[in-house]
Amino acid sequence: MPELIDTDKFSEAMRRKGVDLDRQRILISKLAGSEQEKDITKQPNCGGYGRIRHFRRRTTAGWPANPLPNDPAHKALGLPTTDVMHAQVFQNAVCNWRCWYCFVPFALLAGDEQNAGWLSAKELLDLYLAEPDSERAAMIDLTGGQPDLVPEWVPWMMSELRRRGLEGKVYLWSDDNLSNDYFWQHLTDADRELVATFRGYGRVACFKGFDADSFSYNTKAAPELFDRQFDLFARLLALGIDLYAYTTFTATRSDNIGDSMARFVDRLQSLEPNLPLRTVPLEVYVAGVVKERAEKQSFLPQANESLLHQRLAIDAWCRELEHRFSSDERAQSIADVPLAAASRR
């Protein structure tokens, strides 16, 4: 059994490395010249600190389509939806977990200033706006790393977008690995109100596994933290944010996957009856940086086996959704799936 991460301790250490509160700067990964650069189809932009990512609805055969973040972004921007949408991506340079399938090289998750630079929200937007009009994306994706180790990043970006009259004109999307409560520990009520009410913001939080075992296998965090993911998601739901979920289904075991998946979907529905319809399973695959890492750690056979289990898991997921929701409900746009928690806000 590999050594597990002490998530709370490691989160604190990574936060210290990832934010400069006095000058309101975030440590942003420098992609130009990094190991990640070779896995990126287009050259890094924004002075080497950003990249353009194409979000595609289409997935591999037998895997559910991925409408995130395209559908929420198009809806918020009042644009017709498309199957491919490009986004301006910035990655913060810290993460508190080490998912074996992470496509970001671990060197870009460690808060190492040699692979990163200190940038404020103003400087990030200056870089974004300096890109040629024809190439500038209508969406900015704040990702990582784990953006929520520095929860200030999102409201800082929002304040800057608002100051420049860009609220509602540029879509802001951020992700969260559901590992800590820094959003409540470190933000003020006013910050949280800004995040909850900003026009043109969507957030996705990732459940990394369908049970405690698969969660721990995927993240190297203690299995008990699987439950924390649900508690944190419930707190985000209560804020009324336009909230979505990802999930990953790689696992070491294949026994009782049907039962485990049914319990997982039960738990999602205990938070919000429609949450499975706002949840997108992400297919894990082994290529590029992930393959090199797995080979280096002699982990490739286990990784490949867990990919077979993820196929069983996605079949079980699809069966659960077919059983619990009508075809009309499943066919609606993910951005139109109502959340009861939001209407109670």
Whichever of 230 and 325 has its CB closer to ligand SF4, that residue is 230
Residue 98 binds ligand SF4, judged by CB under 6 A = yes
Whichever of 126 and 292 has its CB closer to ligand SF4, that residue is 292
SS3 for the chain is CCCCECHHHHHHHHHHHHEECCCCEEEEECCCCCHHHHHCCCCCEHHHCEEEEEEECCCCCCCCCCCCCHHHHHHHHCCCCCCEEEEEEEEECECCCCCCCCCCCHHHCECCHHHEEEEEHHHHHHHHHHCCCCCCCCEEEEECCCHHHCCCHHHHHHHHHHHCCCECCEEEEEEECCCCCHHHHCCCHHHHHHHHHCCCEEEEEEECCCCHHHHHHHHCECCCHHHHHHHHHHHHHHHCCCEEEEEECCCCCCCCHHHHHHHHHHHHHHHCCCHHHHEEEECCCCCHHHHHHHHHCCCHHHHHHHHHHHHHHHHHHHHHHHHHCCHHHHHCCHHHCCCHHHHCC
SS3 for 137-158 is CCEEEEECCCHHHCCCHHHHHH
Instruction: State in angstroms the smallest separation of the CB of 179 from ligand SF4.
Output: 7
Instruction: State in angstroms the smallest separation of the CB of 31 from ligand SF4.
Output: 14
Stretch that binds ligand SF4, among 91-99, 157-165, 227-235, 268-276 (CB under 6 A): 91-99
Q: Can you tell me which of 144, 147, 155, 200 binds ligand SF4, judged by CB under 6 A?
A: 144
Residue 95 binds ligand SF4, judged by CB under 6 A = yes
Instruction: State in angstroms the smallest separation of the CB of 142 from ligand SF4.
Output: 12
Q: Can you tell me which of 55, 97, 153, 249 binds ligand SF4, judged by CB under 6 A?
A: 97
Residue 90 binds ligand SF4, judged by CB under 6 A = no
Instruction: State in angstroms the smallest separation of the CB of 106 from ligand SF4.
Output: 8
Q: Can you tell me which of 104, 161, 303, 341 binds ligand SF4, judged by CB under 6 A?
A: 104
Residue 146 binds ligand SF4, judged by CB under 6 A = yes
Instruction: State in angstroms the smallest separation of the CB of 220 from ligand SF4.
Output: 9
The site that binds ligand SF4 (CB under 6 A) totals a number of residues, namely 11
Q: Can you tell me which of 88, 174, 177, 310 binds ligand SF4, judged by CB under 6 A?
A: 177
Instruction: State in angstroms the smallest separation of the CB of 279 from ligand SF4.
Output: 17
Whichever of 18 and 200 has its CB closer to ligand SF4, that residue is 18
Q: Can you tell me which of 73, 102, 195, 262 binds ligand SF4, judged by CB under 6 A?
A: 102
Residue 306 binds ligand SF4, judged by CB under 6 A = no
Instruction: State in angstroms the smallest separation of the CB of 343 from ligand SF4.
Output: 30
Whichever of 101 and 198 has its CB closer to ligand SF4, that residue is 101
Distance (Å, whole) CA 187 – CA 17: 18
Instruction: State in angstroms the smallest separation of the CB of 94 from ligand SF4.
Output: 9
Whichever of 28 and 76 has its CB closer to ligand SF4, that residue is 28
Distance (Å, whole) CA 14 – CA 97: 10
x/- site string to ligand SF4, residues 113 to 132, per CB under 6 A? --------------------
Catalog residues that contact ligand SF4 under the rule CB under 6 A: 95, 97-99, 102, 104, 109, 144-146, 177
